[in-house]
Structure 1
């Protein structure tokens, strides 16, 4: 009989960036003062991990670096965990974009696999790259407790993989607040990997 290995991953979305709510995508805005407070409030002083994994974008990486430094942990920065590329929509607030391109925006949220942002990334492409990175790092960090600092869309794509959801459904129907946390348990058994969402959307 084979042995089982359990991996725990705590997913946390970055806090509020400077400039407030926007379709940022690959735009590299830092956390605001409020965003830093949200992130620090979301992590308990007694919590410990074995490794920290993050997107390279500053709104994720800066806090990941702080946690890794404070706990003396290895930090892994993965480019494939960037947010979806919103193309021509990057930098606009939701209100601005609804006024400028409301019909295409509605089509994206209804089915982002068929209606990607103009000059941006389709949900199919986005899900494929995030899922590939997720598989790579959960294999490499198997048996550990991992803190993953990322983006709302990125976390949705990971949960789509864990819960076997269509990317468009996960993107439109899973709410990920600033500094919101989810926990995933992965059990590698002789029958394959079993994934389970233990908690979702917790905020400070």
Structure 2
């Protein structure tokens, strides 16, 4: 089976590069609803529950195996471990893309949302009101968007016309969705992604993009078995 797909768009046949964006499974911070950033943070591994979530999602994605040769992963441990599990299930190679790492949360790392709101209410209010504002010692959504889109361009260039699974984090996945939909990135505060969920976005060579699925979860395996991305 060919790994290159085309879609008849408004301008004729165009190459479609489809990203299956998988959020990592849970860690100790996920379970506590705490801020957990990229390589500059605590960098916790998946818990046993997180590994089980990743394995269930990997099995859900198995019907895609004939069309997926590569799983691209954030280098952050929890996403990398999720990527290893998914790549193993699909028989795909695993490669790192640093652009898809989670936002750095600086001084908020390891604190819960409620703790930050209580201890730093003004900083939290400013952060939620402007995407150019970063947590103290951390990274803003605006700056993160630049590296996430740089990573996207590298993936699209290397895998034009292919289906690629990407294991990443809440913030990069939301930024990719906002980019695909052409919406302001402030919309990231209005999206919710479950651990080990799958979001599917196609990028076309004529510049269009299409979101095919958002926050999908097992056990709806028939969706993937019956759908051609």
TM-score (norm 2): 0.81
Separation of aligned partners in 2, 1:61 and 1:74: 12
For the residue of structure 2 that corresponds to 1:4, the secondary structure is: strand
- In the alignment, structure 1 residue 41 sits paired with structure 2 residue 59: no
* Equivalent residues of 1:110, 1:172 under 8 A apart: no
Q: How does 1:152-163 map to 2 (within 5 A)?
A: 152-163=170-181
For the residue of structure 1 that corresponds to 2:151, the secondary structure is: helix
Separation of aligned partners in 1, 2:100 and 2:56: 23
* Equivalent residues of 1:183, 1:199 under 8 A apart: yes
Aligned CA RMSD, in angstroms, stands at 1.7
Which 5+ residue runs of structure 1 have no aligned equivalent?
A: none
Which 5+ residue runs of structure 2 have no aligned equivalent?
A: 1-10, 219-229
Match of 1:58 in 2: 77
Match of 2:37 in 1: 25
Q: 1:71 to 1:199 in 2, by over 3 A?
A: closer
Q: 1:95 to 1:2 in 2, by over 3 A?
A: closer
Match of 2:24 in 1: 14
Match of 1:184 in 2: 201
TM-score (norm 1): 0.90
* Equivalent residues of 2:27, 2:46 under 8 A apart: yes
* Equivalent residues of 1:109, 1:171 under 8 A apart: no
| 4+ aligned runs moved over 6 Å, structure 1 | none
* Equivalent residues of 1:87, 1:117 under 8 A apart: yes
* Equivalent residues of 1:15, 1:39 under 8 A apart: yes
- Quote the offset at 1:46 in angstroms: 2.8
For the residue of structure 2 that corresponds to 1:10, the secondary structure is: strand
CA deviation map 1:60-79 (0-9, x unaligned): 00121222234331211011
| Greater displacement, 5-14 / 44-53 | 44-53
Match of 1:73 in 2: 92
- Quote the offset at 1:2 in angstroms: 7.9
Separation of aligned partners in 2, 1:141 and 1:14: 22
Separation of aligned partners in 1, 2:145 and 2:12: 31
* Equivalent residues of 1:51, 1:144 under 8 A apart: no
